[in-house]
């Protein structure tokens, strides 16, 4: 087991190979904590953006901390959670700000608070403890399970909210008055104030695009510079949170994207909820490829793929072409208002083969309301047809989890046994022909219960963590939480429309 010195040495070694690390002494240092390990955190564009925004605020600075790769080593060596930049204990910072991406990271948040030596529940902390702030993508949907742990929640896009928070902290020394002041402002939620959740914030277009601050090889996306070409989505798929809270898609002009990419970034990832819907995507990718850079996209809609784009991505170093159908059958895709048709996916397979891609990856959901074995059989049939065209086909399958702030909010989950039977049926039909990569139905059920829950679901997360964090521990803890009201959506649900995209500056 590693010693405290060795754990800090690992952090120093990671810092040594980073490009773009920010260092600044200030009167208001913030511990910016990601409740997943370093490799995951440093692949988060939102986390890196807030890191830079805090440093840009006069009189404030940020130091990063992460859920350890091996929390047990910190426990055994009695090493407190520390910041990477100065290796100060996180508990010594006046503000600890968490970026929470999705529901299952609640366990990591609780673990980080424990390793910092802080009571996990806000109600157990006093004015002498750091102010614990929670923001991140989870706040776009349902942040209430995180409410028991935070003194303050920042809702939605935080590029502007973080500056308002830092200014308020510097102006108001009384925590009680500080929280009262922020509770009255848009974009902030103070659980102890007893008020309902307010609207979530969208950043001003002038703040776009978000882009990487630090490049490092020790991430899931090794040395890749990430940057948005757009934010939000205009598609309106009924299972998806993106686009509904901000009213559509904000497109960044290619020149603004290219201007933010440093010369030393040889690998560029274009990210966003609907990257391939950018009206000038080919122009942007072509400019990057002709500049000798590798290019990848975080998402690719099959109905937007063209021969030119496929060829450009292959020239840009991509070896796999990744898209999604998100419905086992044409009937279910219509139900969730997913515009992808079989003809689009067949064309994507043809273009992948023509361009010389090594693999076609297709993301898929199972367990949608009203799904039957006939839908699974249709997916199997169609997957075999795709496999006969594409060089290799891999299905990434995730159980459907209903999220708040979507038309399918309240739709039932699974159940687990049904999802597992459908996966077994699919495996049997595709064995030896198509690679299947499913995520766990059990952990998707935990995600569902948290996604649909309130603060009591967060308390169940604490109980599960205290009991060791196994699925059995979660099942016992969630047994004490009321089951969400289940709403069976009609399969005749009409399409949901959103405001169209708009181009920044137009």
- What are the structural domain ranges in the chain? 4-193, 223-451+486-503
Distance between CA 35 and CA 140 in Å, rounded? 17
What's the confidence (pLDDT) of residue 245? 56
Under a CB-based contact definition with an 8 Å cutoff, are residues 361 and 391 in contact? Answer: no
Distance between CA 313 and CA 316 in Å, rounded? 5
Q: Could you give the angle at which helices 471-478 and 455-466 cross, rounded to 10 degrees? A: 140
Block residue for tokens 């009203």: 370
What's the confidence (pLDDT) of residue 496? 47
Under a CB-based contact definition with an 8 Å cutoff, are residues 115 and 50 in contact? Answer: no
Distance between CA 441 and CA 459 in Å, rounded? 22
Contacts of the segment 72-80: beta carbons below 8 A, 24+ positions apart: 72/1, 73/1, 73/2, 73/7, 74/7, 74/115, 75/115, 76/1, 77/1, 77/2, 77/3, 77/4, 77/7, 78/4, 79/4, 79/7, 79/8, 79/115, 80/115, 80/116, 80/117
What CA–CA distances, in Å, run from 394 to 62, 126, 362, 367, 458?
40, 51, 6, 19, 35
What's the confidence (pLDDT) of residue 504? 53
Distance between CA 40 and CA 44 in Å, rounded? 7
Distance between CA 275 and CA 194 in Å, rounded? 39
Distance between CA 265 and CA 276 in Å, rounded? 21
Distance between CA 192 and CA 187 in Å, rounded? 16
What's the confidence (pLDDT) of residue 198? 86
10's enclosing H/E stretch is: helix 4-16
310's enclosing H/E stretch is: helix 307-315
What's the confidence (pLDDT) of residue 49? 97
E strands, 334-379, are 359-366
User: Which residues lie across from 120 on neighbouring strands?
Assistant: none
Domain 223-451+486-503 in CATH 3.20.20.70? The answer is: yes
Buried b / exposed e over 212-239, threshold 16 CB at 10 Å, is bbbbbeebebebbbbbbbbbbbbbbbbb
Residue 174: count other Cβ atoms within 10 Å of its Cβ.
Answer: 10
What's the confidence (pLDDT) of residue 244? 57
380's enclosing H/E stretch is: helix 373-387
Query: Backbone phi, then psi, for 323, in 5-degree steps?
Result: -145, -170
E strands, 1-74, are 28-34, 60-66
CB within 8 Å of 332: residues ≥ 6 apart: 368, 370, 371, 375
Query: Backbone phi, then psi, for 42, in 5-degree steps?
Result: -80, 0
The first and second tokens of residue 424, run together, are: 């077994």
What's the confidence (pLDDT) of residue 497? 44
Instruction: With CA atoms as reference, report the closest residue to 407 among 453, 501, 338.
Output: 338
Residue 451: strand, helix, or coil = helix
- The pTM (predicted TM-score) of the whole model is 0.94
User: Which residue stretches of the chain have pLDDT < 50?
Assistant: 493-502, 506
Under a CB-based contact definition with an 8 Å cutoff, are residues 148 and 462 in contact? Answer: yes
Dihedral angle sign, alpha carbons of residues 37, 43, 47, 51: positive
Distance between CA 101 and CA 174 in Å, rounded? 30
Instruction: With CA atoms as reference, report the closest residue to 117 among 148, 86, 152, 88.
Output: 88
| CA 469 to centroid of chain Cα atoms | 21
Instruction: With CA atoms as reference, report the closest residue to 28 among 67, 66, 56, 65.
Output: 56
CATH class of the domain comprising 4-193: alpha beta
């Amino acid at each position: 087991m590693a010693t405290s010195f060795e754990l800090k040495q690992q952090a120093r070694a990671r810092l040594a190979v980073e490009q773009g690390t920010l260092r600044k002494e200030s009167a208001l240092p913030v511990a910016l904590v990601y409740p997943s390990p370093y490799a995951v955190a440093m692949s988060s564009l939102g986390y890196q953006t807030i890191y830079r925004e805090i440093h840009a605020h006069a009189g404030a600075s940020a130091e990063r901390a992460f859920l350890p790769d091996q929390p047990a080593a910190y426990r055994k060596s009695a090493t407190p959670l520390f910041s990477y930049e100065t290796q100060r204990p996180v508990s010594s910072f006046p503000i600890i700000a968490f970026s929470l991406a999705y529901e299952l990271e609640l366990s990591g948040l609780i673990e980080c608070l424990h390793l910092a030596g802080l009571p996990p529940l806000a109600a157990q902390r006093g004015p002498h403890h750091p102010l614990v702030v929670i923001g991140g993508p989870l706040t776009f949907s349902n942040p209430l399970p995180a409410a028991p742990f935070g003194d303050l929640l920042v809702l939605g896009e935080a590029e502007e909210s973080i500056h308002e928070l830092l200014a308020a902290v510097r102006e108001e020394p009384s925590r009680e008055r500080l929280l009262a002041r922020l509770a009255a402002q848009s974009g902030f939620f103070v659980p102890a104030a007893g008020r309902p959740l307010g609207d979530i914030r969208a950043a001003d277009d002038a703040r776009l695009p978000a882009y990487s601050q630090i490049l490092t090889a020790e991430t899931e996306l090794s040395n890749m510079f990430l940057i948005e070409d757009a934010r939000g989505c205009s598609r309106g798929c009924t299972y998806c949170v993106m686009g509904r809270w901000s009213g559509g898609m904000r497109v960044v002009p290619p020149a603004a994207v290219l201007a933010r990419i440093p010369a030393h970034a040889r690998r560029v990832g274009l990210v966003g909820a609907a990257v391939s819907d950018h009206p000038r995507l080919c122009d942007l990718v072509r400019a990057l490829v002709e500049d000798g850079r590798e290019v990848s996209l975080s998402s690719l809609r099959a109905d937007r793929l063209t021969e030119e784009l496929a060829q450009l991505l292959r020239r840009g170093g991509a070896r796999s072409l990744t898209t999604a159908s998100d419905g086992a059958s044409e009937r279910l895709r219509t139900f969730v208002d997913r515009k992808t048709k079989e003809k689009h996916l067949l064309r994507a397979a043809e273009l992948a083969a023509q361009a010389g891609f090594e693999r076609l990856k297709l993301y898929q959901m199972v367990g949608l309301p009203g799904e039957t074995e006939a839908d699974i059989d249709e997916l199997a049939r169609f997957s075999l047809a795709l496999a006969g065209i594409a060089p290799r086909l891999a299905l990434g399958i995730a159980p459907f989890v209903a999220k708040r702030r979507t038309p399918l909010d309240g739709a039932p989950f699974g159940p687990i046994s049904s999802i597992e039977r459908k996966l077994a049926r699919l495996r049997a039909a595709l064995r030896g022909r198509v690679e299947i990569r499913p995520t766990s139905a059990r952990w998707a059920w935990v995600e569902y219960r948290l996604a649909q829950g309130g603060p009591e679901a967060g308390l169940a997360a604490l109980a599960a963590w205290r009991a060791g964090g196994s699925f059995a521990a979660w099942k016992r803890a969630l047994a004490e939480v009321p089951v969400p009201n289940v709403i069976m959506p009609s399969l005749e649900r009409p399409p949901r429309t959103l405001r169209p995209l708009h181009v920044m500056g137009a």
